[in-house]
Chains A and B, each alone.
Chain A
Amino acid sequence: MNIFFGEHGSRAFEPWWSIGRYILLMGVLIWLAGRGAENLGYNWQWYRVSDIIVSIKNGHVQAGPLLQGLGMTLKISGAGLLLSFCIGLGTALLRLLPSAVGRLLARIYLELVRNIPLLILIFFIYFVIGPLFGLGRFTSAVLALSLFEGAYASEIFRGGLVSIHRGQWEASYSLGLSTWDSYRYVVLPQALRRILPPLTGQAVSLVKDSALVSTIAIYDLTMQGQAMVAETFLAFEVWFTVAGMYLLLTVSLSIAAWILERKLALNNA
């Protein structure tokens, strides 16, 4: 029981501490950058940043370039997350199947994707696969991201599934449940609890890796940032703002996962 409560205590503490650490780190970096910029004679113009986040035209508040970029990043990450989890779970189940062909297919996909840099995968899908099947920029980007992250997610899923004790399977089978029902009602819900923390990490990487889709001219947060730097020369201000926005996304993800994890854990108390 003590171990249990101890675990709970540290878990309650964790996200705030990691956010705190991040803010501390950012503070130090900003201070260093500020010092560096000062030595460069950099002229800080933070007041101009608000214009590229929201713009006011004819009395109407409109999303500025950075906010539009954030929207695009959200869309790509959201679709990518959903698809990568499906691919991950599918591949994990394929690898656990008794079928040798299924296992081989899953292995080939894993080894192929994990040994190709994401940037090259994006180019390959956009320039080679895309024209073949008539995929647009957005579809190509989501596909590349989710294929890449799905490979890692599948290992996380597989680990979680394998970690469920044999006795759970046997109990489920002995009650007459089919393999599918055993997965659905007995094994997956238990595995999910163990998978959630590493899966959150994977989701955070997906959000950050989505910056690479700017290379195929998708106007995501990074691309808009680049464009704004070119336009306004506010290099430091713009990139700090962009970094802050990514942070906002990933921290929200972590907090959501943490809440979900706690809910599942309480359920299991």
Chain B
Amino acid sequence: MRDIFLTSTIPSVLTQTSENRNQKDSQEQEIIQAKGICKRFPNGIVALDHVDLCIAKREVAVIIGPSGSGKSTLLRCLNGLEEIDAGHIVIDGIPLNRNAKNRLLIRTEVGMVFQSFNLFPHMTVAENIILAPQRVRKIRKSQAEELARGLLQKVGMEQKWDTYPAQLSGGQQQRVAIARALAMQPAVMLFDEATSALDPEMIGDVLQVMKDLAREGMTMVVVTHEMGFAREVGDTVIFMEDGQVVEQGPTTSFFDNPTHDRTRHFLSKIL
């Protein structure tokens, strides 16, 4: 099941809700359905130009491409951090539209991990994780703490319970940020260049957490420059350039047999 990673750490009330969701999920295999997304920034730059994206349950999709190709913007559109100009997005059966309630609901289903971690600096590690389950899922503090403890153990940060983010290394902060996103028990996790701001020796720890997550069945959309990770963990690879999806396909055939010239050119430069 998708929630293996989480179930061991979750209080009973929460498992209940995620089981219900699993039943719902089984009717729709696709967690993310996006069609014809266009996004133009106020300065006139076209970030996304008719992008389609379908992510199935338990799929790990890796988005690669040169900087400025719209990868991050695509991710940010998927949980409504950026408003789209055209197209439509359906997440876990909920349409992402102007309805504010839907938007909030989708954000509880979509976890996001940022390049710059964005932990709340005025809260301890524990408080960072507990905040959203308590405020949004409305679960009791003791339950939220139990949940947080389990998640911190998973990411190897349980000894930093009372620490403030400023006292952690980048890699540690990012692992806490992953735990924070997981605490909402999202149906899908988005990783926006989660390792790009890290020192080389810290990247490994974060990637390991992401690999464990993928192995345990989490649906993931990962924007990254780590080709090793893409090859090892990704089910699908999506190559973007100039706001368009140039090529996408199963990982092995994508890397071994790219069909598009631009893809080949890009891969030859980074591999």
Contact A175 B114 (CB under 8 A): no
How far, in whole Å, are A185 and B122 apart by their CA atoms in the complex?
10
Contact among B135, B164, B181 with A177 in the assembled complex (CB-CB below 8 Å): B135
The contact string, 1 if C-beta is below 8 Å from chain A, for chain B 4-35, is: 00000000000000000000000000000000
Contact B132 A177 (CB under 8 A): yes
* Interface membership of A96, Cβ < 8 A: no
Q: Would you list which residues of chain A between 172 and 191 have a CB under 8 Å from chain B?
A: 172-178, 181, 185-186, 189-190
Residues of B with Cβ closer than 8 Å to A?
Answer: 76, 79-81, 104-105, 107-108, 110-112, 114, 116, 118-122, 131-132, 135-136, 164, 166-167, 177, 180-181, 184
Interface size of A in residues (CB-CB distance below 8 Å): 21
How far, in whole Å, are A172 and B76 apart by their CA atoms in the complex?
13
A175-B131, A176-B132 provided; 6 other pairs, C-beta below 8 A?
Answer: A165-B118, A174-B181, A175-B108, A176-B136, A181-B135, A186-B120
> Which B residues lie within 8 Å of A120 (CB)?
none
B106 CB → nearest A CB, Å: 8
CB-nearest residue of chain A to B100: A178
Contact A175 B136 (CB under 8 A): yes
* Interface membership of A171, Cβ < 8 A: yes
The contact string, 1 if C-beta is below 8 Å from chain B, for chain A 232-269, is: 00000000000000000000000000000000000111
Take A175-B184, A189-B122 as given contacts and tell me if A167 and B131 are in contact as well, using a CB distance cutoff of 8 Å.
no
For chain A, what secondary structure do more than half of its interface residues adopt (helix, strand, loop), or is it mixed? helix
How far, in whole Å, are A170 and B120 apart by their CA atoms in the complex?
11
Take A168-B120, A193-B122 as given contacts and tell me if A175 and B181 are in contact as well, using a CB distance cutoff of 8 Å.
yes
How far, in whole Å, are A171 and B184 apart by their CA atoms in the complex?
13
> Which A residues lie within 8 Å of B116 (CB)?
167
- The tally of CB-CB contacts under 8 A between chains A and B is 71
> Which B residues lie within 8 Å of A167 (CB)?
114, 116, 118
Contact B118 A175 (CB under 8 A): no
Contact B181 A190 (CB under 8 A): no
How far, in whole Å, are A193 and B114 apart by their CA atoms in the complex?
24
CB-nearest residue of chain B to A182: B135
> Which A residues lie within 8 Å of B105 (CB)?
176
Contact among A175, A189, A190, A269 with B166 in the assembled complex (CB-CB below 8 Å): A269
Contact among A171, A176, A178, A267 with B120 in the assembled complex (CB-CB below 8 Å): A171
Contact B81 A170 (CB under 8 A): yes
> Which B residues lie within 8 Å of A178 (CB)?
104
From B107, B114, B184, name the one whose CB has the most chain A CB atoms within 10 angstroms: B107
B138 CB → nearest A CB, Å: 11
Take A167-B114, A167-B116, A269-B166 as given contacts and tell me if A173 and B107 are in contact as well, using a CB distance cutoff of 8 Å.
yes
Contact A185 B110 (CB under 8 A): no
The contact string, 1 if C-beta is below 8 Å from chain B, for chain A 183-212, is: 001100110010000000000000000000
Contact B136 A177 (CB under 8 A): yes
> Which A residues lie within 8 Å of B121 (CB)?
190, 268
Interchain residue pairs with CB less than 8 A apart (12): A165-B118, A170-B118, A174-B79, A175-B107, A176-B132, A177-B135, A177-B136, A185-B131, A185-B135, A190-B120, A268-B166, A269-B166
List the 4 shortest-distance A-B pairs measured between CB atoms, nearest first: A171-B118, A176-B108, A175-B132, A174-B112
A161 CB → nearest B CB, Å: 14
CB-nearest residue of chain B to A264: B122
A257 CB → nearest B CB, Å: 18
> Which B residues lie within 8 Å of A176 (CB)?
104-105, 107-108, 132, 136, 184
How far, in whole Å, are A173 and B181 apart by their CA atoms in the complex?
11
> Which B residues lie within 8 Å of A172 (CB)?
120
A181 CB → nearest B CB, Å: 5
> Which B residues lie within 8 Å of A168 (CB)?
118, 120
Contact B164 A268 (CB under 8 A): yes
> Which B residues lie within 8 Å of A165 (CB)?
118
How far, in whole Å, are A141 and B81 apart by their CA atoms in the complex?
45
How far, in whole Å, are A190 and B128 apart by their CA atoms in the complex?
14
How far, in whole Å, are A83 and B85 apart by their CA atoms in the complex?
43
